[in-house]
């Protein structure tokens, strides 16, 4: 079948043939969200081949972009076609996504695809945009797909939910292991990279992390059959990068051979479905509350004639009745 020029199929075909502008156009549309994004993600899903998705997270300034650029350069030199998605949560404030210079430089290599993605503007937020974008890159034949994001607050948890392997990058002076634990980084790490080993304190940070890994193992965190290695690197000079690449590859093999991969994909599927469901229900709730009947119920609560709990039960029963009556057959697979 020959795809119509400019259609999603045509763009996907061109992206798979190495046309980075076609891939970029698809990602722009995925980023915007809505039905168009969903259609693109669905079409990409049919073509996606299960690229290894590597999340790279950690505190601001730890050297994530520098490390990603090193990794990507090594991968490309080895004949791979890696892609980088740099997710920038700060763009809501600055108004534009900022991409590390090093990562931008890596994009000069024709086999590498680099893209920064703003969370601003996507109706469903990062949780919806990233899996769609990853799928487009997978369908375009990129492997691995590296997703860089600042680990602060809830965000890194979302990204690790979209990744097969998560590398947590830290550096001396950016907070101790306890803080990493508080930020939720421990739960998501498959590989720790203590960057800036050229600076004082790197070895101390490594020992702290080793201790925490041992403790979390005792308390039964994470995958019982995988102990996250703690590696010291200097992304600026490239020292130790090969070891990080090897650890990432070893984790991928572990996922393939141990059944942990199946479990992780299941978790990922569940997370993605939950995100999509939440967005659907949010929309349905908003629409329902805009209806005349719900308006009367809301007014009754405001007037003290009905309790909020009773109103919620009433509206919920109407909402669920409407959902089962109006349910449409699911599109795609
Ligand atoms: N001394 C030293 N500095 C480094 C090393 N790696 C990165 N840096 C520097 O650390 C700063 C931050 O590096 P980035 O790679 O932009 O860090 P990042 O984690 O991507 O930062 P954000 O994306 O802004 O959170 C830059 O000035 C780098 O040059 C290293 O191994 N040693
Ligand atoms: Mg960065």
**One domain for residues 185 and 247:** yes
Confidence of residue 331 (pLDDT cuts 50, 70, 90): very low
User: What's the average model confidence in pLDDT over 304-319?
Assistant: 93
Write the residue with the smallest CA distance to atom 29 of ligand 1: 236
The pLDDT of residue 10 is above 90? yes
Kindly report, residue by residue over 73-120, the tens digit of the pLDDT: 999 999 999 999 988 655 444 433 455 555 555 556 778 898 887 655
**One domain for residues 185 and 107:** yes
**One domain for residues 187 and 316:** no
User: What's the average model confidence in pLDDT over 252-274?
Assistant: 89
Any domain includes 25: no
Provide the pLDDT for residue 87: 81
Q: Which domain holds residue 221?
A: 48-258
Q: Pull the structure tokens for residue 277.
A: 């469901």
CA dist 239 and 23 (Å) reads 32
Any domain includes 281: yes
Which among 258, 281, 305 is the end of a domain? 258
Ligand 2 geometric centre to CA of 32 (Å): 22
Q: In sequence order, what are the residues at sequence separation of 6 or more whose Cβ sits closer than 8 angstroms to the Cβ of residue 288?
A: 294, 315, 318, 319, 322
The SS3 assignment for 191 reads strand
Provide the pLDDT for residue 326: 54
Write the residue with the smallest CA distance to atom 25 of ligand 1: 60
The pLDDT of residue 123 is above 50? no
**One domain for residues 110 and 207:** yes
| CATH at 232 | 3.40.50.300
**One domain for residues 112 and 182:** yes
**One domain for residues 99 and 149:** yes
Verify whether ligand 1 is closer than 6 Å to residue 60 (CB atom).
yes
User: What's the average model confidence in pLDDT over 213-234?
Assistant: 82
**One domain for residues 110 and 246:** yes
Which among 230, 258, 286 is the end of a domain? 258
Q: Pull the structure tokens for residue 195.
A: 């960057």
**One domain for residues 150 and 281:** no
Give me the helix-helix angle, 126-139 and 8-16, nearest 10°: 60
Any domain includes 278: yes
> Which atom of ligand 1 sits closest to the CA of residue 237?
31
Verify whether ligand 1 is closer than 6 Å to residue 199 (CB atom).
yes
Ligand 2 geometric centre to CA of 62 (Å): 8
Q: What is the longest distance spanned by two Cα atoms in the chain?
A: 71
**One domain for residues 236 and 149:** yes
Write the residue with the smallest CA distance to atom 15 of ligand 1: 63
Q: Which class for 194: exposed (0-12), middle (13-18), buried (19 or more C-beta within 10 A)?
A: buried
Verify whether ligand 1 is closer than 6 Å to residue 156 (CB atom).
no
Provide the pLDDT for residue 121: 47
**One domain for residues 54 and 109:** yes
Kindly report, residue by residue over 157-171, the tens digit of the pLDDT: 566 678 899 999 999
Provide the pLDDT for residue 96: 38
Confidence of residue 53 (pLDDT cuts 50, 70, 90): very high
Ligand 1 geometric centre to CA of 105 (Å): 14
Burial 225-250 (b: 16+ CB within 10 A, else e): ebebbbbbbbbbeeebbeebbebbee
**One domain for residues 229 and 281:** no
CA dist 222 and 234 (Å) reads 27
Provide the pLDDT for residue 295: 92
**One domain for residues 194 and 310:** no
Any domain includes 135: yes
The pLDDT of residue 217 is above 50? yes
Any domain includes 236: yes
Q: Where are the alpha helices (DSSP H) in the chain?
A: 8-16, 20-32, 34-47, 64-77, 91-94, 101-106, 126-139, 155-161, 177-182, 185-188, 202-218, 241-258, 260-290, 292-302, 308-325
> Which atom of ligand 1 sits closest to the CA of residue 59?
25
Q: What is the mean pLDDT of the chain?
A: 83
Any domain includes 107: yes
Q: Are 38 and 143 in contact (CB under 8 A)?
A: no
Phi and psi torsions of 244, nearest 5°: -65, -45
Q: Pull the structure tokens for residue 152.
A: 């602060």
Provide the pLDDT for residue 197: 95
Q: What is the pTM of this model?
A: 0.85
How far is CA 92 from each of CA 84, 121, 125, 298, rounded to the nearest angstrom? 20, 8, 11, 33
Which among 233, 258, 283 is the end of a domain? 258
Span of 37-41, 137-141, 157-161, 266-270 with lowest mean pLDDT: 157-161
Provide the pLDDT for residue 274: 87
Any domain includes 224: yes
Provide the pLDDT for residue 120: 54
- Tell me how crowded residue 33 is: count the other CB atoms within 10 A of its CB: 18
Verify whether ligand 1 is closer than 6 Å to residue 65 (CB atom).
yes
Question: Looking at the 3D structure of the chain, how many domains does it have?
Answer: 2
User: What's the average model confidence in pLDDT over 43-72?
Assistant: 91
Ligand 1 geometric centre to CA of 61 (Å): 5
- Rounded to 5°, angle at Cα 56 from 194 and 30: 165
Ligand 1 geometric centre to CA of 153 (Å): 20
The pLDDT of residue 325 is above 80? no
Any domain includes 6: no
């Amino acid at each position: 079948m020959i795809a119509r020029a400019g259609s999603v199929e045509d763009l996907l075909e061109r992206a798979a043939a190495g046309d980075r502008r076609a891939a970029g156009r698809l990602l722009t549309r995925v980023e915007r969200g809505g039905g168009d994004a969903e259609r693109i993600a669905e079409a990409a899903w049919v073509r996606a081949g299960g690229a290894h998705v590597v999340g790279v997270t950690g505190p601001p300034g730890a050297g994530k972009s520098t490390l990603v650029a090193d990794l990507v350069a090594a991968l490309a030199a080895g004949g791979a076609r890696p892609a980088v998605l740099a997710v920038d949560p700060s763009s809501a404030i600055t108004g534009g996504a900022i991409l590390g210079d090093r990562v931008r430089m890596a994009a000069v290599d024709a086999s590498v695809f680099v893209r920064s993605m703003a969370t601003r503007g996507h109706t469903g937020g990062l949780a919806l945009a990233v899996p769609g974008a990853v799928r487009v890159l997978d369908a375009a034949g990129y492997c691995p797909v590296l997703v860089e994001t600042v680990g602060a607050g809830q965000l890194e948890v979302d990204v690790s939910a979209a990744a097969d392997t998560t590398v947590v990058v830290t550096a001396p002076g950016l907070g101790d292991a306890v803080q990493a634990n508080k930020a939720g980084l421990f739960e998501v790490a498959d590989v720790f990279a203590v960057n800036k080993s050229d600076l004082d304190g790197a070895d101390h940070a490594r020992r702290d992390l080793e201790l925490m890994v041992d403790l979390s193992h005792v308390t039964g965190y994470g995958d019982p059959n995988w102990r996250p290695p703690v590696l010291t690197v200097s992304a600026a000079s490239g020292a130790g990068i090969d070891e990080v690449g090897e650890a990432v590859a070893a984790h991928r093999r572990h996922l393939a051979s141990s059944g942990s991969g199946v479990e992780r994909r299941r978790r990922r599927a569940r997370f993605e479905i939950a995100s999509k469901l939440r967005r659907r229900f949010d929309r349905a709730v908003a629409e329902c509350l805009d209806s005349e009947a719900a308006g009367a119920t809301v007014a009754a609560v405001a007037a003290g004639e009905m309790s909020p709990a009773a109103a919620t039960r009433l509206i919920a029963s109407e909402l669920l009745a409407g959902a089962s009556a109006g349910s449409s057959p699911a599109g795609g697979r």
